[in-house]
A = this chain, B = another copy of it.
Amino acid sequence: MGDRLKGSVGVELSLVTVDLAIFTIRNDNLMVLLVERGAEPFLGRSALPGGRVRTNETLDEGAHRELWEETSIEGARLHLEQLGAYGDPGRDPRGRVVTIAYLALGPDLPTPVGGTDAAHAYWAPVAGLLRTPGSLAFDHARILDDALERTRSSLEYATVATAFCPEVFTLSELRGVYEAVWGHELDPSNFRRKIIKTEGFVEPTGEQRPQPTGRPAALYRKGSAQRLSPPFLRSAF
């Protein structure tokens, strides 16, 4: 391909990768998928899953492919959006590597099987990672930080919270998503009012689900709206 890039010289070329911050919620905790690196550099350290982008695929396609290869989960069920590009020289000791970070949100996923690249893939609580800095390879701690802030912000302005939920869910489960991501509790009554009156956020299925204790909860599915207007701001921290 190099000869098609007329005028370019080798020193100007970079390796382009995608890295994925895949979030889900397990037991009311926000979790991120990590892999234990099986090769240098950072051998044995934890990192976000990712890999090289192929020249014949879109960045989005590359993200979807890596997602599938590392987690055996089809991207169709996930919310996937680009987070940004990270290209500081020195972020990879092997040389110039520019990575396009992606944010993926999904419902409680099965524990990932070892993919092609990743010997060990596992879910780690995000809260714990923030308390132990320096545990991630490359600049993945910063990417994780940005991914978390993007997620918290997205819940304010968009309807992506439903991406964390299964096909049908209760409003309490949806509230649990907000509480796990924002890290504080919400008033159940006010939350309900806000969600219901936001056109297209959720649609009632008409069904109910008995609870282990207490009154049965109505079931909902994802609505067609993408954005929240007015937004649902996290006022109190």
Q: How many residues of A contact B (CB 8 A)?
A: 39
CA distance A59 to B91 in the complex (A): 12
Contact A85 B88 (CB under 8 A): no
A82 within 8 A of B: yes
Contact A100 B82 (CB under 8 A): no
One digit per residue, 1 when the CB lies within 8 angstroms of any chain B CB and 0 when it does not, for chain A 1-25 equals: 1101110101111111000000000
A213 within 8 A of B: no
Residues of B within 8 Å of A230, CB to CB, are 233
Contact B85 A100 (CB under 8 A): yes
Known: A8-B15, A58-B88. 19 other contacts (CB 8 A): A1-B95, A4-B94, A4-B95, A5-B15, A6-B94, A8-B52, A11-B55, A12-B55, A16-B16, A53-B87, A53-B98, A55-B95, A56-B89, A58-B87, A59-B85, A59-B86, A59-B98, A84-B84, A231-B233
**The 7 A-B residue pairs with the shortest CB-CB distance in the complex, in nearest-first order:** A13-B13, A4-B95, A59-B87, A85-B85, A55-B96, A14-B16, A85-B100
